[in-house]
Each structure stands twice: as structure tokens, then as C-alpha cells.
């Protein structure tokens, strides 16, 4: 399943929990702008939203952005999605970016859920930790920590401090 969020008309806002001074759609908005305008904040079930893998942001019945959801954050009684924009080459992006809203309906609700045929092959994949389980995300629940801890044990003698210092040093070397 994917979640589709339909943008309304452009409007300025104040006191926005995401720090925006506008929401809604306008002509020729970029995908990043559409994602920022559409990822929140909505009355939606947080667990359900976070369980979806893909999000389509639409406006004027066109898909303006396609994102992979990584989480959902609560702002009082509303929810904002977190995630990354998909780019050309990803099957979901190639199928829907710029196309008509595949989950168009007449509901007043901006948020709707639906199946996208391209998702089926993508939604189950092997856990990236190599355990052999399958998951709808990169990792089975909790396995990213196991994968990190295994590397700390294997390469840093179990020292999280040594691991973090190595990352910081590596990044510093990469940018200097």
C-alpha cells in the first residue's frame, strides 16, 4: 500500500510545526517543494502511515513527487511523514512522476491509501543485515542496530567510542 497526499491550493500559513510559511501547490513547483508542502501535517494514523513504504504527493490531479517513507512524526494531533524523494530509475518514480493521480477519488480527505501494482515486487525484500528474513523496509525491525553492533564488535573490539571516532575522522578526512 501507498499513501497519497493531495495538495490543496497555495496558501500562506503561520505557526506551522514544520517551520513552513506556505503550504499547498503552485505551478511548476519542484519535487522537493511538493514533498515539503505535502509530507505534513495531517490527521492520520501514525502507525498506519509509518507502515506504508511509498508516498505520492499530488496536486491538480498530477503526481508532483514520489517519496519512500522512513517514518512518521507526531505534532500534537497531526502527523508529518519523513522520507526521501525517489528519482528517475526507480520503478515507482518512473511509473507515476508527472502522471495523473493513480489513487484519485472524490473524497474531501487529502490523505488516502491504496495499492500500486509496481509496489508488489518491491515491498518484500531481504533484510540488509543478511539474516535471511524478508522485510518491507531495508531492515527487519531492530536489525539495523544488530548490524551496526556486529560491525562494532568485529572491527572496533566492541568499542562504540572507537567506532564513532573512526566515523568522525573518516568524514573529516573526506571533506578536508
Which residues sit at the interface with Zn ion, rule CB under 5 A? 127, 129, 131, 140, 143
CB closer to Zn ion, 79 vs 129: 129
Q: Count Cα neighbours of 6 within 13 Å in the Cβ-side half-sphere.
A: 18
**Residue nearer to Zn ion on the CB measure, 142 or 157:** 142
Q: How far is the CB of 120 from Zn ion (least distance, A)?
A: 22
Distance CA 85, CA 41 (A): 17
CB of 125 to Zn ion, least distance (A): 11
Find the shortest distance in angstroms from Cβ 140 to Zn ion: 4
Shortest Å distance, C-beta 150 to Zn ion: 10
Nearer to Zn ion, 115 or 133 (CB): 133
* Residue 156, H or E segment: helix 143-156
Nearest residue to 54 (alpha-carbon basis) of 46, 66, 40: 66
Specify the residue, 39 or 137, whose C-beta has the smaller distance to Zn ion. Answer: 137
Q: How far is the CB of 3 from Zn ion (least distance, A)?
A: 25
Identify which of residues 112 and 135 has a Cβ nearer to Zn ion in the complex. 135
The SS3 assignment for 159 reads: coil
Measured between alpha carbons, how far is residue 30 from residues 3, 23, 57, 81 in Å? 20, 13, 11, 18
Using alpha carbons, select from 83, 75, 101 the residue that is nearest to residue 18: 75
Q: Name the residue among 41, 58, 39, 169 with its Cα closest to residue 105.
A: 58
Amino acid at each position: 500500500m501507498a499513501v497519497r497526499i493531495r495538495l490543496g491550493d497555495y496558501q500562506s500559513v503561520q505557526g506551522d510545526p514544520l517551520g513552513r510559511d506556505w503550504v499547498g501547490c503552485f505551478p511548476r513547483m519542484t519535487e522537493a517543494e511538493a514533498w515539503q508542502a505535502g509530507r505534513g501535517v495531517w490527521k492520520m494514523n501514525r502507525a498506519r502511515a509509518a507502515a506504508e513504504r511509498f508516498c505520492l504527493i499530488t496536486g491538480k490531479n498530477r503526481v508532483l513527487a514520489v517519496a519512500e517513507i522512513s517514518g512518521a512524526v507526531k505534532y500534537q494531533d497531526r502527523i508529518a511523514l519523513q522520507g526521501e524523494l525517489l528519482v528517475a530509475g526507480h520503478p515507482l518514480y518512473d511509473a507515476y512522476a508527472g502522471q495523473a493521480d493513480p489513487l484519485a477519488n472524490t473524497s474531501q480527505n487529502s490523505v488516502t491509501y491504496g495499492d500500486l501494482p509496481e509496489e508488489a515486487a518491491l515491498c518484500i525484500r531481504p533484510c540488509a543485515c543478511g539474516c535471511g528474513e524478508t522485510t518491507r523496509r531495508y531492515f527487519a525491525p531492530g536489525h539495523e542496530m544488530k548490524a551496526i553492533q556486529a560491525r562494532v564488535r568485529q572491527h572496533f573490539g566492541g568499542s562504540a567510542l572507537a567506532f564513532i571516532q573512526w566515523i568522525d575522522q573518516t568524514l573529516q578526512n573526506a571533506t578536508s
